Structure 1
Amino acid sequence: MKKYINKLFVLGSLLFLAASCETEGQLTTLATVTFPSAIEASSSTIVLKEDVSDQPALLISWPKVTYPISAPVSYAIQFDLTTDIKGSEAWQKAKRIDAGQDVLSKSFTGAELNKIATDLGLKPDTAGELVIRIESTMDHRIYSDPITITVTPYLKTVVMGEIYMPGSYQGEWNVETAASLNEIQVGVYQGYMTLAADRDPIFKFNKARNWTQFYGAGATNSDLKNMSDTNFVLPGAGSYQIKANLNTLKWSSTPYSWGIVGTSQAGGWDNSTPMNYDHQTKTWKITANLVTGALKFRLNNSWTINYGPADPSTNTINLDNGGAYDIPEAGVYEVTFKIDEVDPVSNGYPATATCTIVKK
């Protein structure tokens, strides 16, 4: 009898769980959820130009999607060709870009849109159509109705120039050892530097490693003016990605730092310890107290871009690899990280980077 009662209890429990799951499904997954209105593009016809490719070229916006439960909604944007959005493999070749949670728009620079267009197969200097839709995800995924825009991409020029950034971050201004910015597009330069807390945040841009021609601040701190005596000013101590556009005579600084992350350093898996950029060796470095545990590398204290070793016995680290180095004993370590960031916006991040981890 006891055995029979136990069986009834188990059966009743299973029926209750099944009913609960069905009810929950009706509240979320089985509920009808749609985009309440059409998505919008800032322009339906875009001719991209390389000399202003770091400027905004397209803004996609969409309405809020309301699900039956209250939780963050994730959005992504998909781009595809008109020939690839029908049939059993519809949208399988689409370029997908995460927009984030509870955001209702995303902007693309000319360089970003040019890469999307050419990756999908549009020919340079020829108008072609791109189809765009928005993906909305909470407990299940839905899509907006697509819209179509016409884009004329450009053929990216192979560039090899440099400009230089002498300033107080060096200790003493020295154009011969100043940080260099590599030409990533025609007239557009990009580089990296670290400003220590005890250094002044002022600098200039020089066309060569001399003072024959240089740029200082113009009407505002972000304007370049030929042979201006007014210095540019950084926001404060920290590491930055610096961009200078000699076509538009504008420059910008963006907080930018590779860091170590993992159980061997103070922030664990939640917070990276930032590294400093050595502009002469073009290497990110840190000397830190580490404990036994794991270590890998990520950008800007986020998992969006990270590197781990596929083979921890080597100094090669791989993009988006889940592996980590093992720090066998506590102590002071010098850690370096070197990456060939030619142009992350248009080329993406490289598949591999290199590092060293040396106990002092």
Structure 2
Amino acid sequence: MKKYINKLLLLGGLLFLGTSCETDGQLTTLKATSFPSSFEVSSSEIVLTEETADDQALLVSWPAVTFPIAAPVTYAIQFDLVNDISGSQAWQKAKRIVVGEDVLSKSFLDRDLNKIATDLGLPINVPGQLAVRIEATMDRKIYSNTTTITVTPYEKSVVFGEIYMPGAYQGDWNVDTALALPEISKGIYQGYVTVLPDYGPVFKLNTGRNWEQFYGAGATNNDLKNMSTTDFALPGEGSYQVKVNLNTLKWSSIVYSWGVVGDGTPGGWGTSTPMNYDYQTKTWKITVDLILGNVKFRLNNDWTINYGSKNNTDFVAYLDNSGAHYIAEAGSYEITFKINDVDPLGLGYPAEANYTITKK
């Protein structure tokens, strides 16, 4: 590190001497840096198949970039659709794969390249074009020229994936345990989160359980910008349904909270007691004092979507059922409610949900 600092001081001194005769007010910058030559791809036309999923499909190699300071250079490869590499949103939908420090090549298996191609939206079993470029990062980011390859992807065995939402609601921003938002249709992801008191509402959106590619806020809080350091922010404390559209690079949230209601609950029949969402077990939970009486479940403090049980033994709640779980002994209870509401607007609410009511 001392060597790098000395070189920075020397470079700064030279820049000062070179500009001392210039007019006051001019800014000095580090000298321009660029890729010394084009990068290479092993093939420009690739047909992918599930039978060759473990074979090498593509090798990308590039020349070393020399920055003014002698320090490690981190390289990454970006893939994007040809129509998405110009204009104000250029390369914002790109798939970015970090290669490493001073590494000058990267190979891709059929399965890896197929996932990149299908995630970006290339049609199955039809030749389509992908734009490829190299990113070099040290004191700044620079990019190579762009090369186009033609890829024919195959149908994936697993169609749907997920993205991840590390944030302050966790307390530690741990992407390894962050909320997973499942894909409910091509490029559209949805999930639920509760922001507890004393936890912040800010977060990022990551394409994997790592920090190789993530999205932060762009022009507005609801715009996705690739590798942006600006955090997204939910409205504040409470529970929300979060929807992310990677096709349009937008995200949104709505208030979304399951709660308990009934004459055995603190709010009686008029006001739901809200539950919190445990994103790791995908379960709504609450510990609450109950009195003798009935307990039902409803969404957003409203009777439009509600569940009731037929008895106290099955621990199954049914959509729009008039029944309720009866509390025969007052006390503190832990209540859980688990429902498969991955895409309620598209698929409707399920006929059944599971719950527990356990005296503490």
> Shorter-chain-normalised TM-score: which range?
0.5 to 0.7
**Match in the other structure for 1:199:** 199
**Match in the other structure for 2:182:** 182
Would the aligned equivalents of 1:159 and 1:184 in 2 still touch at CA under 8 Å?
no
Is 1:315 paired with 2:315? yes
TM-score (norm 2): 0.56
**Match in the other structure for 1:336:** 336
Query: Aligned with 2:345: secondary structure?
Result: helix
Q: What are the ranges of 5 or more consecutive residues in structure 2 without an aligned counterpart?
A: 1-157
Inter-partner Cα distance in structure 1 for 2:164 and 2:215: 10
Letter in 2 for 1:238: G
Query: Aligned with 1:342: secondary structure?
Result: coil
**Match in the other structure for 2:9:** none
Inter-partner Cα distance in structure 1 for 2:334 and 2:239: 18
1:70-85 correspondence to structure 2 within 5 Å: none
**Match in the other structure for 2:212:** 212
**Match in the other structure for 2:348:** 348
Would the aligned equivalents of 1:261 and 1:298 in 2 still touch at CA under 8 Å?
yes
Would the aligned equivalents of 2:258 and 2:298 in 1 still touch at CA under 8 Å?
yes
**Match in the other structure for 1:257:** 257
Would the aligned equivalents of 2:264 and 2:295 in 1 still touch at CA under 8 Å?
yes
Letter in 1 for 2:268: G
Give the deviation of 1:312 after TM superposition. 3.0
Inter-partner Cα distance in structure 1 for 2:258 and 2:167: 22
TM-score (norm 1): 0.56
Query: Aligned with 1:271: secondary structure?
Result: coil
Is 1:160 paired with 2:160? yes
Would the aligned equivalents of 1:261 and 1:297 in 2 still touch at CA under 8 Å?
yes
1:252-291 correspondence to structure 2 within 5 Å: 252-291=252-291
Deviations 1:151-175 (A, max 9, x none): xxxxxxx942100000011011100
Inter-partner Cα distance in structure 2 for 1:259 and 1:220: 32
Letter in 2 for 1:205: L
User: Mean alpha-carbon deviation: is it higher for 312-321 or for 167-176?
Assistant: 312-321
**Match in the other structure for 1:64:** none
**Match in the other structure for 1:133:** none
Query: Aligned with 1:270: secondary structure?
Result: coil
Inter-partner Cα distance in structure 1 for 2:294 and 2:310: 14
**Match in the other structure for 1:110:** none
Query: Aligned with 2:184: secondary structure?
Result: strand
Would the aligned equivalents of 2:175 and 2:209 in 1 still touch at CA under 8 Å?
yes
**Match in the other structure for 1:247:** 247
Query: Aligned with 1:169: secondary structure?
Result: helix
Letter in 2 for 1:347: L
**Match in the other structure for 2:324:** 324
Query: Aligned with 1:333: secondary structure?
Result: strand
Is 1:306 paired with 2:293? no
1:4-153 correspondence to structure 2 within 5 Å: none
Give the deviation of 1:311 after TM superposition. 3.4
Would the aligned equivalents of 1:159 and 1:183 in 2 still touch at CA under 8 Å?
no
Query: Aligned with 1:346: secondary structure?
Result: helix
Deviations 1:146-195 (A, max 9, x none): xxxxxxxxxxxx94210000001101110010011110110000000000
Deviations 1:318-337 (A, max 9, x none): 11000000001110000000
Would the aligned equivalents of 2:184 and 2:343 in 1 still touch at CA under 8 Å?
yes
Deviations 1:172-223 (A, max 9, x none): 1100100111101100000000001201111000001001110000000000
Deviations 1:256-304 (A, max 9, x none): 0000000011111111000000000000000001111000100000000
Q: What are the ranges of 5 or more consecutive residues in structure 1 without an aligned counterpart?
A: 1-157
Moved beyond 3 Å, runs of 4+ = none
Would the aligned equivalents of 2:310 and 2:325 in 1 still touch at CA under 8 Å?
no
Inter-partner Cα distance in structure 1 for 2:203 and 2:221: 11
Inter-partner Cα distance in structure 2 for 1:295 and 1:310: 12
Inter-partner Cα distance in structure 2 for 1:199 and 1:316: 33
Inter-partner Cα distance in structure 1 for 2:254 and 2:195: 13
CA RMSD of aligned residues (A): 1.3
Letter in 2 for 1:324: A
Would the aligned equivalents of 1:319 and 1:351 in 2 still touch at CA under 8 Å?
yes
Letter in 2 for 1:328: A
Inter-partner Cα distance in structure 2 for 1:290 and 1:159: 44
Inter-partner Cα distance in structure 2 for 1:246 and 1:188: 6
Letter in 1 for 2:193: M
Would the aligned equivalents of 1:308 and 1:324 in 2 still touch at CA under 8 Å?
yes
**Match in the other structure for 2:293:** 293
